[in-house]
Structure formats: C-alpha cells, structure tokens
Amino acid sequence: MIWGVSSHLISLVFLLSSSMICLGLSLTSLNLGLSYMIEWEIITLNSSSVVMTLIFDWISGLFLGLVLYISSMVMYYSGDYMDGDKEYGRFMYLVFLFVFSMGALIVSPNLISILLGWDGLGLISYILVVYYQNEKSASAGMLTILSNRVGDVGILLSISVMFALGGWNFVYYGDYLGDDWDLLKILICMAAMTKSAQIPFSAWLPAAMAAPTPVSALVHSSTLVTAGVYILIRFSGALEGSGVQSFLLIISCLTMFMAGLGANYEFDLKKIIALSTLSQLGVMMSILSLGFSDLAFFHLLTHALFKALLFMCAGLIIHSVSGYQDIRNMGGLVSSMPLTAVSMNLANLALCGMPFLSGFYSKDLILEVAFMSEINFLSFLLYSVSTGLTVCYTFRLIYYTMSGESNLGASVFISENYYCMMSAVVMLSMGAISGGALLSWVVFPEFYMICLSLGFKILALVVSGIGAVLGYILNIVSVSYNLKMLMSYSFVVFMGSMWFMPMLSTLSLSRLTFNVSGSLGQLGDKGWSEYYGGEGFFQGIMSGSSFLQVSQENMIMIYMKGFFLWVVIVFFLLI
C-alpha cells in the first residue's frame, strides 16, 4: 500500500492521465501539422555531436498515448492477477521501467539515444520472463535475451556506420540514403527482425510466455515486439527502392505463414495467442516492405488494442481454472464466464478482420493494397493462405474453450468475480470495438484508390470463410479410430514445431556458440592472454622483486660473488 491506496490504482490514474495528454497533443500536432524536436548536446567528437534528442510529432504522441493507455489497463489488471504475490511491489516497478523504456524508444529519433529504450526493453523483458524463477523461465529468459542481443549488436554497428554522416538523427538523413548505405539498412533491418521475431529469430516469442500474463499482454500488444516495426516505420524513407525491401517481404510472408500453421497444431492457450502475434507482426512487416508505412502503423495501433484484450481474457481464464493452460481441458466457459467469453470472442473476431471491428479497418485495407501491388505469386499465395490460417486457429480456439462441457472436474470452481480484471477487460473491449473506426476516421483519413476485380475483392472474405469452416468442423467431426496424422507424422511434427526453429535456436545454435566460445576462452582468456597477460606479468614482477629482495639482504656471499664478477669484468676490459 502507498498512502493508503493500492499501487495499481495509482498506476491507473497516472498512466491513464498521461495517455490522454499524449493523445490530445498528437491530435493537435496532426491538425496543425506541427512537429517538435528537443536536443541536448552531451559531447562533440570530430565534428560529430552526441546528443540526446526527443521528437514529439503525431506518430510518437499517438503511439505513446496508446502504450500508456494499455499499460494503465495492464497495471490495473495486475491488482487482481498478482494479488497475494510476495514480490508484487517489485513486479510493478519492473513494469513501470518497461513502459519507461518503450517511451524512451518512441520519442527518440537518434540512434544513440534510442539505445536507452532499446537495451532497456531487452534487459527488463529478461527480468520479467524469469520472474517465476524456475527452470522453464530461466531457459525462456536466456533465449529471449540472447536473441535480442543480436539486434542490439545491429544497432551498435549501425551507429558506427552512421558516424560518416556526421550525426545520428535518422529522421534527417532517412530520405537521402542511397545505395551506398545498404550496409546501414541491412543492420537496421536485422535489429528490427530480432525485436519483432521474424524468421530466423522467431523462437523467443512463444518462449517468452513464461512471464506472468499481464507482462505478456503488454509485451505482445504495444511494447517489445512492436519496437522493430516502429523503428522501420521511422526508417521507411531510407528503405524505399532498395533490395532490402524484397528480402523483408519474403521473410515476413514466411513468418506469417509459419506462425499461422504452427498455431493450428498448438494446445497451449498463451502460445496460440503468441503465435497469432507473430503472424500479425509478419503482416505489418510485409506491408511495410511494400512501402506503405502508414498502413503498417495503422495496423500496429489496432492490433495493440485487441491483442492486449485477448491476452487479458486468456489470463482471466487461466486464473479462474487454477492455472490450466491446455485448451483441451477447457470447455463450456461461455456459461460460467459469460462476460469473459464475449470479450474474448470480440478480440478473436477483431483478429480475424470481422467487418466493423477494429482489426477490419487495417487488415482488410492491407490485404487489398497488397493484392493491388506488384508482388510475386509466392507472396500472394502466402498472404491468402495465412489469412485463412488465422481464422482457422481462431475458430479452433473458440471451439475448444467456449463450446462443449468443461473437462476440469468438479474440484475446480470457475468464476469471473474479479473486479479489477473485469474492469480492465471491459475498458479494452471498447477499444477493440471502436478503436479501428476512430483511428480510421480521425487519424488516417487518407483515400486509397482500390482497383481490384470482384474475385480479388472478395478473396479475403472467401479465404476467411473457408478457414472458419475448417477450424470449427475439423475439431467436431469424428473420423475412424485410426489416426490419419500418424501416416505423415514427420510432416506434422515439422509444421507444428515452428519448422524446428526453437530447436535450432536452443540446441544446435547454442551448442555451436558455446563450443566456439569455450574454445576461444581456453585459447584466449585461459591461454595466451593469461600466459603473456596478467599471470605472466605477475610472475615477471614477482621474479624481479625476489631478485631485488635477495640482493638487498646484505649477505657476505652476495658481496663476494659481486666482487668476483666485478674483477672478471675489469680483467676482460683491460685485455
């Protein structure tokens, strides 16, 4: 307790008021066409100034306001979810630091000052993933932080490459970077791919589910995973017309397809939602690689609203069913948890792009613009199939959790009598219903001329309908007693395991990395550098000091030897 009031209530008031201020300022700057930059020069080195720079325009204000709004709901939600936890105060401080790091990243247009938020997100995400301090959390945390360190190295190398420009404010130079700066673009894309978990860095995102559910709601909606997309939106002017765009398009489409396919084989509730986040990140990256950064930012905002709601509903279900996360053990929740079921279905339908929910306004526009663009047949096929897979695993999730009867047994009492959690869910439900429409009408009133034939126009709707039918019917039909999947077991294992990416990221890659680093440690730190470095230097000093000590002990034998040596030297000199 702080001043007699719970800390989650203080967090709600503080973050919610800050969110309203940021949203008001962003709308004002959008209407007036204003943008403010604040620079604080720290040091000047060879005509290159190291400055702390902050940018306040409609993009940073809108995104920061949304992050603070979702964070306030997550903090308030945590009042019930983390109730009784011995380290509740530490958890709240860590979440505050996490939000601060994301805010520092959003308002930094400078590659050096952006490190404050970029590294802060990686470090605090590791601390939150290992919060429960068990073996699973430790493994997931190590995979998370090592994957994110690859992106940190990309940012550091891009800082050194950008030194030749005379500054690090990429908002000034982004539109003027030609083909000579492909290395800088590749490094920035690599950093963004690690943070947003694109192939081959996708394994850490489902593993990060070891964190508490409020952290998952924050990480997977508007903070950590969206940092890579946000920095590419800021760099979008530099990427236009470069070969990096084609590479990013294929990688993002493959990520979208791989995540959608893997979610249809998964039974862990939180991992299914995590894989859906990965799929939507692929959607954002793909449309960004086609040059439509405004649509990527639009989907970034709408996705944050319904994905935070989806995770909160999942956490409420897990909290109510005594910690079970396997969807095969759930069922009939629509009768025992009606408000949670309605909110979760709202979020799921928004994820599928159901008309007039928040996800429809951005996702449908992205698909139509992508179909209208000059993309190859593989990208078009991946777009279409991935859209169907999204609806397929969503309806599969609805079937297992909402319909039928509960398999938890009579010993588990299911209830949604949690005031803080239900209040946060209801508040975010309003965003999932009307957020997309408000953003579309107020912030993104741009007119897109869609010139598509009738077949392409209804393709997204047809594919979504086929996916919904397959996702629901395949789980209720009763086939023969022979399991048909056993006939293609290897194929099923490959598709359901994210294409062996977790195994490659943990066993093979880490084993190779640790073997190489162990050999370098034996040869370097414990070998040559020890022999000629600290240990060798120490032995040399000790030998010299021992000789000096012996020579100063005033022994007659030393004097006699010294006198004899002097006589011999003089004799040879006289000869």
As a whole number, mean pLDDT of residues 426-443 equals 85
Closest to 118 measured CA to CA, from 233, 251, 217, 223: 223
The answer to whether the CB of 223 falls within 8 A of the CB of 216 is no
Beta strand 36-45 with 48-56 is antiparallel
> What are the domain boundaries of the chain?
7-481, 509-574
User: Residue 98's CB: how many other CB atoms inside 10 A?
Assistant: 24
Find tokens 């396997």 and name the residue.
326
- What does R_g of the chain's alpha carbons equal in angstroms? 29
pLDDT tens, position by position, 337-368: 888 888 888 888 888 888 888 888 888 888 88
Rounded CA separation 58/27 (Å): 6
CA distances from 102 to 57, 222, 229 (A): 16, 9, 13
CA distances from 364 to 110, 354, 387, 464 (A): 33, 9, 10, 11
pLDDT tens, position by position, 121-166: 888 888 888 888 888 888 888 888 888 888 888 888 888 888 877 7
pLDDT category of residue 1 using cuts at 50, 70 and 90: very low
Q: Where are the alpha helices (DSSP H) in 373-418?
A: 377-402
Q: Quick one: pLDDT at residue 4?
A: 36
DSSP secondary-structure letter at 374? Answer: -
Closest to 207 measured CA to CA, from 490, 501, 491, 495: 501
Q: Quick one: pLDDT at residue 3?
A: 36
Rounded CA separation 74/217 (Å): 7
Closest to 448 measured CA to CA, from 295, 298, 296: 295
Rounded CA separation 276/353 (Å): 13
Continuous segment of H or E residues that includes residue 55: strand 48-56
Q: Where are the alpha helices (DSSP H) in 196-337?
A: 204-207, 213-219, 226-234, 236-239, 243-263, 269-289, 293-320, 333-336
pLDDT category of residue 76 using cuts at 50, 70 and 90: confident
β-sheet bridge partners, residue 5: 2
Residue 2 has pLDDT above 60, yes or no: no
**Tokens representing 524?**
């370097």
Q: Quick one: pLDDT at residue 6?
A: 62
Q: Quick one: pLDDT at residue 22?
A: 74
Rounded CA separation 503/493 (Å): 12
Backbone angles phi, psi at 45, to 5 degrees: -130, 110
Backbone angles phi, psi at 491, to 5 degrees: -65, -40
Tell me how far apart the 2 most distant CA atoms of the chain are, in Å. Answer: 115
Q: Quick one: pLDDT at residue 226?
A: 86
DSSP three-state, residue 119: helix
DSSP three-state, residue 83: coil
Q: 135-138 long-range contacts, Cβ below 8 Å, gap at least 24?
A: 136/210, 137/210, 137/211
Q: Quick one: pLDDT at residue 79?
A: 80
Residue count of the chain, please give it.
575
Q: Where are the alpha helices (DSSP H) in 331-451?
A: 333-336, 338-352, 358-372, 377-402, 419-438
**Tokens representing 327?**
């969807």
Cis peptide bond upstream of 200, omega within 30? yes
Rounded CA separation 96/91 (Å): 9
pLDDT tens, position by position, 195-206: 888 888 888 888
CA distances from 37 to 55, 65, 168, 514 (A): 4, 18, 14, 44
pTM for this predicted structure:
0.83
Rounded CA separation 461/353 (Å): 9
**Tokens representing 353?**
């792009």
The answer to whether the CB of 396 falls within 8 A of the CB of 472 is yes
Residue 513 has pLDDT above 70, yes or no: no
Residue 505 has pLDDT above 70, yes or no: no
pLDDT tens, position by position, 536-556: 777 778 887 877 776 666 666
Q: Which of 56-60, 262-266, 284-288 has the highest mean pLDDT?
A: 284-288
For residues 190, 105, 75, 126, the Cα torsion angle rounded to the nearest 10 degrees is: 40
Amino acid at 485: M
Rounded CA separation 326/566 (Å): 91
Which residues are within 8 A (CB) of 53 and not within 5 positions of it... i.e. 6 or more apart?
A: 37, 38, 39, 40, 108, 109, 110, 113, 169
How many Å separate Cα 292 from the centre of its chain? 21
Q: Quick one: pLDDT at residue 410?
A: 53
Half-sphere CA count of 556, side-chain side, radius 13 A:
0
Q: Quick one: pLDDT at residue 495?
A: 72
How many Å from the N-terminal Cα to the C-terminal Cα in the chain?
A: 96
Please, what is the average pLDDT of the chain? 80
**Tokens representing 66?**
């949304």
